[in-house]
Amino acid sequence: WRRRGNTGPGAEGRRGAGAAPGRASWRWALALLWLAATPGWPRASGSAPRRHWPVPYKRFSFRPEPDPYCQAKYTFCPTGSPVPVMKGDDVIEVFRLQAPVWEFKYGDLLGHLKIMHDAIGFRSTLTGKNYTMEWYELFQLGNCTFPHLRPEMNAPFWCNQGAACFFEGIDDIHWKENGTLVLVATISGNMFNKMAKWVKQDNETGIYYETWTVQASPAKGAETWFESYDCSKFVLRTYKKLAELGAEFKKIETNYTRIFLYSGEPTYLGNETSVFGPSGNKTLALAIRRFYYPFKPHLSTKEFLLNLLQIFDAVVIHRQFYLFYNFEYWFLPMKFPFIKITYEEIPLPNRNKTFPGL
């Protein structure tokens, strides 16, 4: 599935994450951790016309070619290979793979903070060959989370695509040393082939990465405004599809990293044209650009620290966040605890009893 993705560099957990063309901006991840650990401030309230929540993730009819402006330090899916067609009676072992984000650079540091990258492994018992399948950013995490403010453009410019990567082999040491490599199910070759067709369609229609899950509060059952769309969600979607095809999963605990923003009910602001176009709202456009300015790349340490204070002032003190979702802008009236990184258990799915013969 690197047919289109191979023209754009990027990576997440296994290779790294950055926020600018040609450079990894890992400091923003540390900034998010710092904000997540911030003590509480007074709660904010927000209201807007009632909508259907969470906002559905928008899918597309095809995957566009990456813009040449969008570059990154680590090549996307550098060893990608075609997905094999398995023999129908083959027995395929399915493995849960998880390792710390940026392990290649920081070892198990982020693993201690439970910031993990997820993938799926397969092993054919007929051929003995192993395979890895994962979904991550073409241009690294920072580019998918924050835009570039290009002087020749009025609107923020986004380098945001995510895609599936499939390649032969499983790096046992990488997944086992600081993470997880565990058998979760066995499937037939026929089920694998059906899953592969589904993944191709999923990959061509779900083209962009979404970092944040946005909720009303950390409380159980709280309203969810926006769902994330990341590596773990791809793994969960694939598990669900396999269950629909008849796979029976083991009863083991499975946890996933999630990054939350907490806000009152979001307010829809408009798309790029309605906000930044000739007839757009110039005051709103300026406010959005000012909000994103502190996240710009290529900063010195002094600039980074000053910008971090500006981010703290906007998000925590003034309780404001501008979210770009479905290529549209939303205002989030932020609430305590503002941002939080969790490592939550999400159970493996149950087999779909309507497909007993698979």
Active site positions, annotated: 117, 231
The residue count of the chain comes to: 358
Side chain identity at residue 175, one-letter code: W
If we measure between CA atoms, which residue out of 81, 63, 67 comes closest to residue 9?
A: 67
> Percent helix, strand and coil across the chain, each rounded to 5?
30, 25, 45
Q: Which token pair is 154? A: 């009025």
Torsion, Cα 141 142 145 151, to 10 degrees, reads: -140
Residue 195, classed as helix, strand or coil, is helix
- Residues in CB range of 245: below 8 A, 6 or more apart: 187, 191, 194, 195, 352, 355, 358
If we measure between CA atoms, which residue out of 235, 247, 160, 248 comes closest to residue 199?
A: 235
Distance (Å) of CA 173 to CA 75, 97, 104, 324: 21, 11, 12, 37
d(CA 318, CA 186): 51
